[in-house]
């Protein structure tokens, strides 16, 4: 039987996440995209959905409301939609993803974008009031650390109420033992890996690897021949090594200067990297020089049929430098990283 699910993604990665859903669950049928959301029908087992790499959270949809009215009317609609939702089906799916353990506690999380003539807290309260009637008797409402979370998402006149099937380990991953400032969200690393058209023959390089997220995500996504990461800072390389060990990923890790890599010409088939944004690390001025030298060095070590996938918030700068250095830009995905607009460039040597 087909049911309604939705995933939450980093804003900008919705269509890419739905591509991943379609390759894993071929009958999945898109209902709609919203900012950071893909809503779809599928008869998927929730276990399959929790294996997605490019999404932050997975929800069983309890209600999808369009044309939400105003004031008390809107709150009444939220209340009755929750009351009529198939909570028991949602709880049964939750139990399957949680190893059969019974849910004892619940809470409501509400998010609101746009202007409304009611407060976020009132909308959340309308859902809570309905759930107090609809939840099984043995379950208790708590403030934090609930077993089951019901999320209310409101954007203009549209609302989604969903039972969260994933937990924080989906977005943060279990391997991430240590974080660095400017460390990348794993789902972005997975999205970059996806955009790099993975093949089992790939020799993958992240020349500015930080805590190693991109290489690890690439390795977890699909088979590859060889993977290498490196960074100018010894402590970053040590961290990448520890994270890779925790993820059971075999890759080589090196301390180096990415402007002059100890690698042969045309020796790697994929370069995937998160360039310094010039905010937490470096500045726009240092980036002008750094990006110029990197574009040249990346071209040297990449095979002529190879691909570069690079993330930056310096869209205009990278665009100009790649073109000047003889790259063809195939695709650009615009997303939001730590509140900043950023772009993932997919480029090949022209």
Name the residues that contact ligand SAM, by CB under 6 A: 180, 182-184, 208, 210-211, 213-214, 231-233, 236, 257-259, 274, 276, 281
- Note whether 243 and 187 are within 8 A (CB): no
Q: How far is the CB of 88 from ligand SAM (least distance, A)?
A: 40
At 215, phi and psi to the nearest 5? -60, -40
The minimum distance between CB 215 and ligand SAM, in angstroms, equals: 9
Using DSSP bridges, classify how beta strands 302-312 and 327-337 pair: parallel, antiparallel or unpaired: unpaired
Q: Which is nearer to ligand SAM, 97 or 183 (CB)?
A: 183
> In terms of CB distance, is 69 or 341 closer to ligand SAM?
341
Q: Which is nearer to ligand SAM, 109 or 232 (CB)?
A: 232
CA angle 224, 276, 316 (to 5 degrees): 100
Min CB(168)–ligand SAM separation in Å: 18
State the minimum distance, in angstroms, from the CB of residue 343 to ligand SAM: 14
Per-residue buried b or exposed e for 143-167, using 16+ beta carbons within 10 Å of the residue's own CB: eeebbbbbbbbbbeebbbbbbbbbe
In the complex, what is the shortest distance from the CB of residue 327 to ligand SAM, in angstroms, rounded to a whole number?
A: 19
Do 162 and 59 touch, CB atoms closer than 8 A?
yes
Tell me whether residue 49 or residue 275 sits nearer to ligand SAM (CB atom). Answer: 275
Name the CA dihedral angle for 154, 160, 164, 167, rounded to a multiple of 10 degrees. -40
Minimum Å gap between C-beta 236 and ligand SAM is 4
Shortest reach from residue 124's CB to ligand SAM, in Å: 33
The smaller minimum CB distance to ligand SAM, of residues 61 and 274, is found at 274
**Which is nearer to ligand SAM, 75 or 208 (by Cβ)?**
208
- Give the residue with the Cβ less far from ligand SAM, 96 or 284: 284
The rounded distance, in Å, linking the Cα atoms of 21 and 27 is 9
Instruction: Report the nearest approach of ligand SAM to the CB of residue 211 (Å).
Output: 4
Residue keyed to tokens 């409101």: 154
Please state, in angstroms and rounded to a whole number, the distance separating the CA atoms of residues 158 and 93.
25
The residue among 257 and 315 lying less far from ligand SAM, judged by its C-beta, is 257
Structure tokens at 78: 């939220």
Q: Between 6 and 298, whose beta carbon lies closer to ligand SAM?
A: 298
- Residue 116 CB, nearest approach to ligand SAM (Å): 37
Q: Which residue is at the shortest CB distance from ligand SAM?
A: 210
Listed in order, strand segments (DSSP E) in the chain are 3-8, 29-34, 37-42, 57-65, 105-113, 140-141, 148-155, 158-164, 203-206, 226-231, 252-255, 268-274, 302-312, 327-337, 340-349
3-state SS, one letter per residue, for 120-135: HHHHHHHHHHHHHHHC
């Amino acid at each position: 039987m087909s049911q309604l699910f939705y995933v939450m993604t980093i804003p900008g990665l919705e269509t890419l996440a739905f591509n991943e859903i379609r390759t894993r669950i071929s009958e999945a049928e898109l209902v709609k995209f919203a900012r950071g959301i893909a809503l779809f029908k599928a008869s998927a087992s929730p276990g399959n959905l929790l294996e997605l790499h490019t999404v932050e959270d997975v929800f069983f949809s309890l209600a999808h409301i369009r044309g939400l009215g105003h004031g008390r009317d809107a709150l009444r609609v939220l209340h009755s939609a929750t009351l009529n939702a198939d909570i028991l089906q949602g709880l049964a799916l939750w139990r399957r993803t949680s190893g059969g353990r019974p849910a004892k506690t619940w809470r409501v999380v509400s998010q609101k974008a746009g202007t409304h003539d009611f407060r976020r807290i009132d909308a959340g309260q309308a859902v809570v009031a309905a759930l107090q009637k609809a939840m099984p008797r043995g379950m208790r409402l708590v403030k934090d650390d609930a077993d089951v979370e019901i999320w209310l998402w409101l954007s203009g006149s549209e609302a989604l109420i969903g039972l969260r099937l994933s937990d924080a380990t989906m977005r943060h991953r279990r391997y991430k033992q240590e974080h660095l400032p400017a460390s990348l969200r794993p789902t972005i690393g997975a999205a970059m890996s996806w955009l790099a058209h993975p093949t089992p023959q790939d020799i993958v390089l992240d020349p500015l690897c930080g805590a190693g997220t991109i290489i690890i995500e690439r390795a977890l996504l699909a088979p590859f021949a060889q993977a290498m990461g490196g960074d100018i800072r010894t402590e970053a390389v040590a961290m990448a090594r520890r994270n890779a060990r925790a993820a059971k990923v075999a890759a080589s890790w090196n301390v180096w200067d990415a402007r002059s890599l100890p690698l042969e010409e045309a020796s790697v088939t994929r370069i995937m990297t998160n360039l310094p944004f010039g905010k937490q690390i470096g500045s726009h001025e240092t980036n002008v020089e750094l990006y110029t030298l990197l574009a040249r060095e990346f071209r040297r070590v990449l095979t002529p049929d190879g691909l570069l996938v690079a993330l930056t918030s310096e869209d205009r700068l990278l665009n100009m430098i790649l073109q000047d250095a003889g790259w063809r830009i195939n695709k650009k995905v615009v997303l939001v990283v730590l509140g900043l607009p950023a772009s993932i460039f997919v480029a090949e040597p022209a």
